[in-house]
A and B are shown apart, each in its own frame.
Chain A
Amino acid sequence: MNEGRLSRRALLAGAGGAALAGPVLARKLVDLGLPGGPSLRPLDPQFPGKGEMIVQRIRAPLLETPMAVFDEGLLTPNNRHFVRWHWEMPTRVDAAAHRVTVGGAVERPASLTLDEVVGAGERVEVVAVNQCAGNGRGLSDTRVTGAQWGNGAVACAKWTGVRLRDVLAKAGVAPGAKRVRFAGLDVPLTDGAPQFLKSIPLEIAMRDDVLVAWGMNDEPLPLLNGYPLRIVVPGWFSTYWVKMLSTIEVLTGEDDSFFMAKGYRVPTQPVTPASGEVTMVPITTMPPRAFITSHADGDSVARGRPLTLRGIAFGGDAGLARVDLVGAGADRPCTMGPDAGPYAFRRWEVTLPAVTGDLAGIGVRAANVKGAVQPERLAWNPGGYARNVIERITLRAS
């Protein structure tokens, strides 16, 4: 787990590999520790409204949150919240002209202004982790193609909005409805390419805490994170949290759109890189994860002195049950910080009475109240999705 750590190597353009050919400019790089590389990523250019972010791609933007940000608090600041767009993102929103259409299997198709969406029901706040399905893909061993994220395609925010079911009620869900599909203002650059459409089962759409959200930590959503509205599905991967929401469509059958039927799919049983064709289904809920944020891989710690480690954890689609320090003979339970709800980051902390030597391969293991526990070994899959293997680092006693 090297995220957020500036490489100890020479960090000037040209020293870091082919990606940086061209004029030699001083730039800060981060080493994400991706097996076999390329592993260095720039922290620039800076994006509007964003602080220092790991720039995976400028166009369409893929911006990763440095791991050190998660050491600062339970809510990720909006200017450090990760960013992921499939198609070129719209850079302008005309608020007065923006509409959210509600159609498909409904009693009376609706076209709602932003004020009408806000007025659709009771205002609701939920603290929830937003995590890309591919978070940590770049750490897959065997490697897989796609956005080569470290572990920072995740963030936790307080979301404010109205219930999706109240927005649906403006149109009236018709009998036979099975799924609810979302689209945003982002559209493909080329004719015939698949739009980014995502759908959830009707019973999920009707949940108490599934929102059409406009607030992120009491601020409007940043444009990069989906202004003016995005879907929030606590416990489910971010792929369903459609940004710049413009279309809600009620479906009476399965969703055969590309990003449901072909993309974002996971095997129904364990696979290896050598497995042939296997049954794949859409990814849905998140498993538990935990990270050490107080120290990075390779850090020095004082021999003979007590050592306090801290970090974050989350339960995925259920609250955390426990977090344990594991490895290097130091196994022990961690103390949990304040509980901001089942879908939020939760702080943990643990103190070793004395460092007696190097702490090789220590990690933290989260378990949720449904009994899901982080595994010792990566549940490898061809899309590099839903990584939740125990993340380990080595600390050097000195």
Chain B
Amino acid sequence: MKHAPLLAIIALALAGCGRGSEVTFADAAITLPEDSLDLPQAPGRDAVLANCTACHSPSMMLQQPKLARDKWAGIVTKMREVYKAPVDEAAVPEILDYLVAVQAQAEEPAAREGA
């Protein structure tokens, strides 16, 4: 255990420290890393790129546990109806094809890893 940082804080679980005014706020800006849109090849990939990844990184889809097509459909519906994502209704079947196919693909290397 490293105790050094503790010395400073032991007594100050909740300490009033007066009305100091030395706090200053500077303008702040950061540049976030590029999102490389790593999406595995599978049918429907273009539909996903056109309809999903404007709002969030692909990892949000790719990291989900394996889901049945109807569960994915529920998520896409939530994106459209609750979060007002501009997903083209005509593209939804392709998006679902892609999500199901990519999760099936992902199981193969996982199985090899476990071997």
Contact = CB atoms under 8 A, between A and B. Distances in A.
Contacts of B19: 119, 121-123
Contacts of A329: none
Given A145-B65, A190-B86, A209-B14, A214 B28 contact: no
Secondary structure class of chain A's binding surface, majority of residues:
loop
Nearest to B18: A123
Interface stretch (A14-22, A172-180, A248-256): A14-22
A218 to B, nearest CB: 9
Contacts of A352: none
Interface of B: 1-6, 9-10, 12-21, 23, 25-36, 38-41, 54-60, 62-67, 71, 75, 82-86, 102-103, 105-106, 109-110, 113
A56 B12 CA distance: 34
A74 interface: yes
Category for how many chain A residues contact B: 35 or more
Contact of A47 (B9, B32, B110): B32
Contacts of A94: 27
18 contacts: A15-B113, A38-B62, A38-B110, A47-B30, A47-B32, A61-B32, A91-B32, A92-B27, A122-B18, A191-B84, A220-B26, A223-B30, A262-B82, A310-B1, A337-B1, A338-B3, A339-B13, A343-B13
Given A17-B106, A49-B30, A190-B84, A123 B20 contact: yes
B67 to A, nearest CB: 7
Given A21-B38, A22-B38, A148-B64, A190 B13 contact: no
Interface string A300-327: 0000000000100000000000000000
Interface in A184-227: 188-194, 208-209, 214-215, 220, 223-224, 227
Given A21-B41, A95-B25, A193-B82, A48 B16 contact: no
A118 B25 CA distance: 10
B2 A73 contact: yes
Nearest to A122: B16
Nearest to B6: A338
A138 B59 CA distance: 14
Max chain B Cβ within 10 angstroms of own Cβ: one of A37, A89, A93, A344: A37
B31 A48 contact: yes
A9 B109 CA distance: 12
A297 interface: no
Interface stretch (A124-132, A278-286, A356-364, A389-397): A124-132
A273 interface: no
Contacts of B84: 188, 190-193
Contact of B12 (A49, A127, A262): A127
A9 B2 CA distance: 31
Contact of A19 (B23, B28, B34, B106): B106
Nearest to B104: A18
Contact of B56 (A57, A148, A208): A57
A48 B32 contact: yes
A194 B1 CA distance: 44
B62 A19 contact: yes
A386 interface: no
B25 A57 contact: no
Given A18-B102, A123-B18, A337 B13 contact: no
